[in-house]
Amino acid sequence: MKQPFLEALPVIETLEKAGFEAYFVGGAVRDAIIDRPIGDVDIATSAKPEQVMNLFDKTILVGMEHGTVVVVHEGISYEVTTFRTEGTYEDFRRPSSVTFVSSLKEDLQRRDFTVNAMAMDKKGVIIDPFNGQKALQHRKIETVGEAKERFHEDALRMMRAVRFMSQLGFTVEQKTKEAIVEHGHLLQHVSIERTSVELEKLMLGRKPGDAFSLLIETGLYKYLPGFSLNDEMKRRLCACQWGKATDVIESWSIILILLGVHETNAFLRAWKLPNKRIKDVQAVIAAYSERKLQPWDKRTVYLYGLDTALHVNRVNLMLHSGLDEESLIRSIHKELPIHSLKDLAVNGKDVMAICRRKGGPWLSELLQKIEMKVVQKELPNEREAIKEWLESCNQILDEPC
């Protein structure tokens, strides 16, 4: 048994000593079988939420209605969820009711895909009532039971199928694929925040190109904000070297470039992305556009910063397979005399005092001139040298420095 499970074993044992059943479930079990890095370890139990909370010193009630309690053991959080079944889904997102049950099989039966519907006991024995191991062997994503029913319960499962295809490098089983074609329109009922999480995981998976091919083949892309694709866009999305992307900033930047999006702010906000992510992506797009016109130099590396410049380099490699400029960018950045305005040897008050003028728009403009002269090494980043230059400029009345 792998280390993450060994660390969680005391939680299982505590539940069992109190007379309850408890098992490891979900993605951690799947990933352990295929020797993939294990993320969060989740536990399913016959104990009710209040019983779980009474057994452990540190717990957090996540949702009584869903039976989920977070148990903190040795500084690690584990979601412990009561065996449950779910009632009918009335909005393609949430069950109308949740019923706690005593059967592990009933609990596993409500899950989305067979590869996620396995459990493991404390001895490492796999419980697999829906042939998830067979699906892993054949590298297939297939639903537990009828795909139509699973997608009507939660339409996001269609995006999750494509996402798992990308992450695991699997294919989607034919009947599951056909159900996506037939019921793709239901994705419109899912919040864009949930959809964006799936798309981001998809873009950073092992085979995003194959996943985009499936989105296009099934028509599911039509229900993604801003994805009005012509044939050339479809080709480029599938052919892009997505594997070089290191984070979602680069992935979203690639999407904007491949789709030829001009209103970047409107597009990214339609996906309800965090403000910082939107700002970071827009910075990459701006730097990418400038890099197409001229090579990296002190000014551009300074203005856009090291992180953005490196993002642009990887975006270029994904799109054009050209020269890797990471070493050049890092070398230029390392040699910069300053890396931000905070590093400048003078501030606004200093400049006003030297120029004997009150603040105004001129001050910001002059600070920018000083900043760029220092960056270009035309002026030492020393207070006295900057003062001397300012005094010299100031002697020429009403003329810009």
Q: Same CATH topology for 139-224 and 246-336?
A: no
pLDDT tens for each residue of 181-212: 999 999 999 999 999 999 999 999 999 999 99
CATH fold of 246-336 reads Methane Monooxygenase Hydroxylase; Chain G, domain 1 (1.20.58)
CATH topology of domain 1-138: Beta Polymerase; domain 2 (3.30.460)
Report the pLDDT averaged over residues 261-268. 96
More confident residue, 396 or 61: 61
Predicted TM-score (pTM) above 0.85: yes
The CATH class for the domain spanning 344-394 reads: mainly alpha
Considering the segment(s) 139-224 as one domain, its CATH architecture is Orthogonal Bundle (1.10)
pLDDT at 164 over 80: yes
Give domain limits for the chain.
1-138, 139-224, 246-336, 344-394
Give the side-chain half-sphere CA count within 13 A for 173.
20
Q: What is the mean pLDDT of residues 94-100?
A: 65
Of 147, 100, 123, nearest to 6 by C-alpha is 123
Tell me the pLDDT tens digit for each residue of 115-146: 999 999 999 999 999 999 999 999 999 999 99
